[in-house]
């Protein structure tokens, strides 16, 4: 009998200790953030869950040596634009949630914002409330919702013109410019593309940006951390039959292949003309020409996974006052980022086909970290004609050591780390360009060139 009484007393004692192990004070928990701010998020496409924001994370830590019970809830509840995941559990509220001594709970937050019928981004707020032994704490939630013109799996009508400078255009999946139809994007327009988006051009694309109001064509990922990411959409693909495409003052970034041009044009004009454009941060190539005819002036091709420019299986390429620069070390690149070939080869290097190729490079910078940043591959079964003059090139090729080309001199870009390929005033490219006829009077940013002008897309500032 005494033994039973002893065991009961021990059980009661243990129970009493367990109850006493809960923290009952009025001090609050330790929060890693007091406000979670989301970058601008496009408002929801009707009938879908697109787009979903990035996920923000914060930590709630128990600083005490006892277990804490707390209540956590989203103030807006089920009607909120925000959603919570509390330690892996999708819920907007938990009651008497236990956090062990000196332990933590992680809370994940996302948002999907409803249309606000405003031209500029509108602020959306909510808060996460914590109550611990009567102590109230909160974490503010803030996001900016931006209404957009949505196009999903769309064949654009002939003569489509986009001109809204305030409300962006968001493209999802496949967008087609049909044969014999024009599509025009005017100055100041912003185009954002979803992860699987391709813009196929069978007709004609005209981009009419200006120096002060360029056209941006990039990913729909608006968070700052994606700024220099590649492969976030597929790219613009000019198919056979597409003619007279002209892009002026366009910034095209974050794709897989930024610009792909297939086959020679069906008239005497280039398939694609680029003037004062910036083609940057693409996963495979900035510009891929396949037996194509391309003219580019005052254009920057930079920081792409394999190639800033690749001319494959022949074609006709003319580059004037362009800068080709690629320092994207994360891609593990081992081949030149500018390549021109009249061949098509299989994975073992065997020749499959050959077509005539012609290229003209004048007043360009072709540079990067490798010893050779331009490469040629030719077959005698097709014509192979190249002329390069007044370029600054990183290369060991003897054939380039003529025609006033400058080899292996650091161009002194302003900031490689910041992807700024303007020129320092001490650049060896300064005042070394050939005066062209007709002259190219302005640089990629619309600034007046000096006489003689600088090599590359950017004129150094005196």
Concatenating the DSSP letter of every residue in 138-183 gives EEEEEEEEE--EEEEEEEPPTTEEE--SSS-EEEEEEEEE-TT-EE
Burial class (CB in 10 A: 0-12, 13-18, 19+), 39: middle
pLDDT given at position 330: 57
Q: For residue 78, what are the contacts with CB-CB under 8 A and spacing of at least 6?
A: 92
16 inside domain: no
Q: Are residues 109 and 188 in the same domain?
A: no
Distance CA 411, CA 393 (A): 9
Read off the DSSP letter of residue 420.
E
pLDDT given at position 6: 44
268 inside domain: yes
Residue 91's CATH number? 2.60.40.10
Burial class (CB in 10 A: 0-12, 13-18, 19+), 221: buried
Q: Residue 123 belongs to what domain range? A: 29-145
6 inside domain: no
368 inside domain: yes
End position of a domain, from candidates 86, 120, 145: 145
252 inside domain: yes
Q: Are residues 385 and 320 in the same domain?
A: yes
Q: For residue 285, what are the contacts with CB-CB under 8 A and spacing of at least 6?
A: 257, 258, 260, 304, 305, 306, 307, 308, 309, 310
Q: Are residues 114 and 162 in the same domain?
A: no
Q: Are residues 183 and 267 in the same domain?
A: yes
4 inside domain: no
Distance CA 206, CA 181 (A): 11
14 inside domain: no
Q: Are residues 225 and 104 in the same domain?
A: no
Q: Are residues 385 and 246 in the same domain?
A: yes
Q: Are residues 310 and 222 in the same domain?
A: yes
* Tens-digit pLDDT profile for residues 337-365: 999 999 888 888 888 888 999 999 999 99
**Stated length of the chain:** 462
Domains: count for the chain: 2
Q: Are residues 293 and 195 in the same domain?
A: yes
pLDDT given at position 12: 43
pLDDT given at position 9: 47
Low-confidence ranges of the chain (pLDDT < 50): 1-2, 4-19
Q: Are residues 220 and 348 in the same domain?
A: yes
pLDDT given at position 378: 84
pLDDT given at position 331: 58
Q: For residue 304, what are the contacts with CB-CB under 8 A and spacing of at least 6?
A: 230, 258, 280, 281, 282, 283, 284, 285, 286, 326, 328, 331, 337
Q: For residue 125, what are the contacts with CB-CB under 8 A and spacing of at least 6?
A: 140, 141, 142, 143
17 inside domain: no
């Amino acid at each position: 009998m005494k033994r039973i009484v002893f065991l009961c007393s021990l059980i009661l004692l243990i129970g009493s200790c367990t109850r006493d192990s809960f923290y009952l004070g009025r001090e609050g928990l330790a929060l890693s953030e007091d406000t979670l701010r989301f970058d601008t998020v496009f408002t929801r496409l009707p009938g879908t869950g697109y787009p979903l924001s990035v996920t923000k994370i914060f930590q709630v830590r128990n600083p005490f040596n006892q277990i804490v019970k707390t209540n956590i809830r989203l103030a807006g509840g089920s009607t909120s634009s925000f959603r919570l995941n509390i330690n892996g559990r999708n819920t907007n509220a938990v009651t008497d949630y236990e956090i062990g001594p000196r332990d933590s709970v992680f809370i994940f937050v996302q948002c999907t914002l409803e249309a606000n019928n405003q031209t500029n981004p509108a602020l959306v707020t909510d808060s996460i409330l914590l109550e611990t032994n009567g102590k109230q704490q909160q974490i503010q939630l803030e996001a900016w919702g931006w209404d957009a013109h949505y196009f999903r799996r769309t064949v654009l009508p002939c003569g489509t013109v986009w001109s809204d400078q305030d409300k962006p255009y968001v493209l999802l999946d496949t967008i087609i410019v049909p044969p014999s139809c024009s599509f025009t994007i005017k100055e100041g327009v912003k185009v954002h593309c979803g992860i699987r988006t391709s813009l196929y051009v069978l007709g004609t694309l005209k981009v009419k940006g200006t120096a002060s109001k360029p056209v941006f064509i990039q990913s729909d990922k608006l968070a700052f951390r994606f700024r220099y990411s590649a492969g976030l959409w597929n790219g613009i693909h000019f198919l056979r039959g597409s003619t007279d495409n002209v892009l002026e003052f366009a910034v095209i970034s974050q794709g897989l292949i930024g610009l792909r041009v297939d086959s020679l044009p069906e008239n005497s004009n280039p398939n694609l003309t680029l003037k004062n454009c910036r083609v940057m941060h693409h996963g495979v190539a900035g510009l891929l020409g396949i037996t194509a005819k391309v003219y580019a002036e005052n254009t920057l091709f930079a920081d792409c996974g394999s190639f800033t420019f690749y001319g494959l299986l022949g074609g006709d390429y003319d580059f004037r006052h362009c800068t080709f620069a690629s320092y994207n070390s994360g891609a593990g690149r081992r081949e030149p980022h500018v390549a021109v070939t009249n061949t098509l080869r299989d994975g073992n290097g065997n020749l499959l086909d050959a077509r005539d190729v012609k290229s003209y490079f004048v007043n360009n910078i072709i540079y990067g970290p490798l010893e050779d940043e331009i490469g040629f591959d030719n077959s005698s079964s097709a014509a192979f004609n190249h002329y390069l003059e007044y370029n600054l090139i990183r290369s060991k090729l003897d054939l380039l050591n003529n025609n006033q080309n400058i080899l292996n001199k650091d161009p002194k870009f302003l900031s490689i780390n910041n992807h700024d390929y303007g020129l320092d005033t001490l650049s060896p490219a300064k005042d070394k360009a050939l005066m062209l006829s007709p002259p190219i009077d302005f640089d990629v940013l619309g600034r007046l060139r000096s006489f003689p002008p600088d090599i590359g897309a950017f004129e150094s500032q005196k």
